[in-house]
Amino acid sequence: MAKKFNFIDLDKSKLPVTKGKKIDGFRFYDIDGKAYPSITTVLGIQKKEQLQDWRNKIGEDVANWEMGRAARRGKATHTLIEQYLKGLTPSERGVLPLGLFRLIKPYVDQIDNIHCLETIMYSKKLTIAGQVDCIAEYNGKLSVIDFKTANKERQESWIENYFMQTTAYAQMYEEIFGKKIEQIVILLASEDGSTQSFIKETKDYMTPLMKSIDDFYKYYENLNKDKIKQEK
């Protein structure tokens, strides 16, 4: 018998009504007349050079194919997890996402009392926004939970961005609802058959997160300066 998950009724009127949009190639959310950059966009700037080196190494066509494949894999697996948590019939039939879902399911079963699921939030303090996968109790502790997929098992040092991303969501939730997030949780299923869970505290990632946000705004400001110069 499938597990039935409990959902907590929050005041949804506190959440922004918005959709993401692209500005100068970056994802922003328009909230109360202000454009807030997506946290994934902010953190993506850090690996811009590394990503370009990888593209140069394997070629643009192969890189585009692999990135598209990874995006489809992640989206399909997220859909299966969301449907499972909501008690809905799975709509995905792909072998790969179903296999990854089966790997991660025992970890997902440790979730209960769900506060948010695929919810857009924002932080006035950090001036960022984003869509969180899940905020719920994980083993009894209120947590920001992010579901990830990969080709192979990840070393912790490779995924600091994930910890900063979930720390950002924790700040957004705390600002909006006034409730303290106790931990951040990354659940990662990989094509090599491995499954990993990482449980951290937000206090360890707030400083690098704020630096990343500052670096993004500086980068974006310089980009616009260069754009204005080119247009003159």
Q: Report the range of poorest mean pLDDT among 6-15, 62-71, 148-157, 185-194.
A: 62-71
pLDDT tens digit sequence for 139-153: 999 999 999 999 999
In the chain, what are the domain boundaries?
Answer: 12-16+26-66+110-231
Q: Which residues contact 170 (CB under 8 A, 6 or more apart)?
A: 144, 181, 184, 202
What's the pLDDT at 184?
98
Q: Are 81 and 187 in contact (CB under 8 A)?
A: no
Residue 155: pLDDT above 60? yes
- Indicate whether 227 pLDDT > 70: no
| Mean pLDDT computed over 111-140 | 97
Which three-class secondary structure state does DSSP give residue 138? Answer: strand
Strands, sheet with 183-190, edge to edge from the N-terminal-most edge strand: 111-123, 128-138, 141-150, 183-190, 195-200
Q: At 231, is the pLDDT very low, low, confident or very high (cuts 50, 70, 90)?
A: very low
Q: Is the pLDDT of residue 52 over 90?
A: no
Judged against a pLDDT cut of 60, whether residue 11 lies above it is answered with yes
pLDDT band at 228 (very low <50, low <70, confident <90, very high): very low
* Cα–Cα distance measured from residue 222 to residue 232, given in angstroms and rounded to the nearest whole number: 16
pLDDT > 70: what percent of the chain?
A: 92
Condensed to tens digits (0 to 9), the pLDDT of residues 60-87 reads 887 778 778 888 898 999 999 999 999 9
pTM summary value:
0.91
Q: How confident is the model over 34-49, as a mean pLDDT?
A: 87
Least Cα distance to 123 among 198, 206, 48 occurs for: 206
